[in-house]
Every structure is written in structure tokens, then in C-alpha cells.
Amino acid sequence: MKITGLIVTILVGGLLIYAAADFPAWSDPNSPASTYLSPHFIEKTMEETSVPNIVTAVLADYRSFDTMFETTVIFSAGVAVFILLRTFRRKEPEARHYRHVLTGVTMRIKEGKLPPSDDFERIDTLWTPPDLIIKTVCRLLIPFIQIFGLYVIAHGHHSPGGGFQGGVILGASIIVLAISHNLRTVVKRMSEKLDAVLCAVGVLIYAGTGALCLLLGLNFMDYSALASVLFVDPIMARSHGILIVEIGVGIAVMCTMVWIYSNVSSRGRYEQGL
């Protein structure tokens, strides 16, 4: 297998290198990729959508149909991981472990459970005390990471950014919380149900904006139809439509990242995760 693989790899690589000789030279302004459609995008984006960031405009306006299904792919990936891994057969553990938060005393209860309170937190059998430095630094950093994520989504019209990037940053901030503390801390703040619902809501915001344009009498995803709802001129309406759609993408991406992480890290049990 190794030798066959090596031969196949070298053959394919050789063919590709042979074909690469016919490719346009690197950074050639007249290459085919840069001559047909992209000049239109670069020159007309500002007057047609009033968005200076061409990438955002192409992503959420000119190619919005494509992006909608990319978001759907991400959502379905989240659902697929959930269906593959989540186990609902709840085998109650013989004993539960609790830790007194202030003193750090751990205790084991053979049957039953403690009523929920702030003094005791439930811990896993594999529990190790979180490192004080990591915990404190993450606690200080996470709000700033989240504000930066929101900025990246909201300012995606004028600077590099948008729903996908901002959503990943927001998701990463929650995953940092899960790594530095534990999965229970995350689930306490953002339950599995909320996660899944928000995931679907993000996609719904995107598709709903498109459907709203359809209801208002123009094509699917033609945001200039929103002008009568948002009380702006049709060009500004396209800019605002892009923002609405990007917010939907951001929510969907953030929740899918957290959803996939918590399922993969705890093997679908949502208990003894990282």
C-alpha cells in the first residue's frame, strides 16, 4: 500500500507540475481569473451596494445563495456530529462527586444528589483542579475576545471581517472557557438546547431575509426589496441586508463550533469533557 501510494502520489504530482507550466504567471493582473467577473465586482460594488469591503459584498450579496448553503452545510455538520456522538442512555453513576468551592474539600455521595447550590459544584472522577494562572488569564481575556468578535461581525463592511470570522472568534472564546475551566462551566452558561436552537436560528435569519425579499416582490436575496421595510434607499438597503445576513451567519457559526467541540471532547456525554 505504501509503495502504491507513493507511485500514485508521484504520478499525480508530476502531472500537476507539468500542467502548472501552462498556468498564468504568479501575480499577473491579466490572468483569466482576474479579467472577466472580478473587475465588475471591484468597480461596481460601491455604487451598487455601498459596501467598501468587496469580499463582504460578494459573499453576502452577489453570491448570497452560495453562502446560504455554506451556512447550511455548517449547520448540518453540527447536527451530524450530534447524531453520531450524543448518547442519551443515562446510566446513573454509582457515586457523585462534589467539591466545596471555598475550601476545596471534595466529597463523594453514594446515592442521591445534593440540591443545587452555589457552595458546591459537581465534579468528574477525572477532575483535576484548574490552574489558577490559566483560569484567571482566561477569565480576563474572554470578554475582550468576545467584544473583538462582535466588532469583526459588525465592522465587516469597512474592514476585514464578517459573519464567518466573527462567529469563529466568538465560538473560540467559549471553547477557551471550556478548556480553562471545564465543560460543565460552559453548559451552565450556555445549555445544549440553547446552542442547538441558536444554531438553527442563525440559518433561519439568513434564509428568512431572503424569503422576506421574495415576499416584498423582488428576487430571493435581492436586499433592495428591504428598502420599504428599513426606510432607506435601495442601495443602503443592500448594505443593511448584508449586515442582517452576516449576523445570522455569525450566530450559526459560533453555536456550531461550540456544539461540535462539546460533543467531540466529551464523546457525546456532556459530562466528563475537557
Partner 1 sequence: MSDLISIIVANYNYWIYITLMMIGLYAMIAKNNLVKKIVGMNIFQTAIILFYVSIGVKKGATIPILQHGHGHGAHTVVHAVDYVNPLPHVLMLTAIVVGVATLGVALALAIRVYDRYNTLEEDELLAQIREK
Quick check: 251 binds partner 1 (CB under 8 A)?
A: no
Which stretch, 19-27, 112-120, 142-150, 195-203, contacts partner 1 (CB under 8 A)? 19-27
Task: Give the interface segment with partner 1, choosing from 1-9, 94-102, 175-183, 223-231 (CB under 8 A).
Answer: 1-9
263 binds partner 1 (CB under 8 A): yes
Question: Is 133 among the residues that bind partner 1 (CB under 8 A)?
Answer: no
Nearest residue (CB) to partner 1, 52 versus 143:
52
Give the per-residue contact string, 71-110, with partner 1 (x = CB under 8 A; - = no): --xx--xx-xx--xx-------------------------
Instruction: Give 142's contacts (C-beta < 8 A, 6+ positions apart).
Output: 173, 176, 177
Q: Which of 70, 124, 192, 271 binds partner 1 (CB under 8 A)?
A: 70
**Is 202 one of the binding residues for partner 1 (CB under 8 A)?**
no
Distance CA 222, CA 243 (A): 14
Closer by beta carbon to partner 1, 98 or else 259:
259
60's CB contacts (< 8 A; 6+ apart) are: 67, 162, 163, 241, 242, 245, 246, 249
The type of residue at 79 is V
Interface residue with partner 1, options 48, 55, 194, 216 (CB under 8 A): 55
Contact residues for 67 (Cβ-Cβ < 8 A; gap 6+): 59, 60, 206, 245, 249
Q: Least distance to partner 1 from the beta carbon of 180, Å?
A: 21
- Rule CB under 8 A: is residue 143 a binding residue for partner 1? no
Rounded to whole angstroms, how far apart are CA atoms 250 and 8?
41
Degrees (nearest 5) of the Cα angle 148, 149, 153? 115
Q: What is the end-to-end Cα distance of the chain in Å, rounded?
A: 36
Q: For residues 226 and 206, what is the distance between their CA atoms, to the nearest angstrom?
A: 14
> How far is Cα 130 from Cα 225, in angstroms, rounded to an integer?
53
Helix (H, G, I), strand (E, B) or coil at 107: strand
Residues that bind partner 1 (CB under 8 A): 1-2, 4-6, 8-10, 12-13, 16-17, 20-21, 23, 25-29, 31, 33-34, 37-39, 41-43, 45-46, 51-55, 58-59, 63, 66-67, 70, 73-74, 77-78, 80-81, 84-85, 158-160, 162, 164-165, 167-168, 253, 256-257, 260-261, 263-264, 267
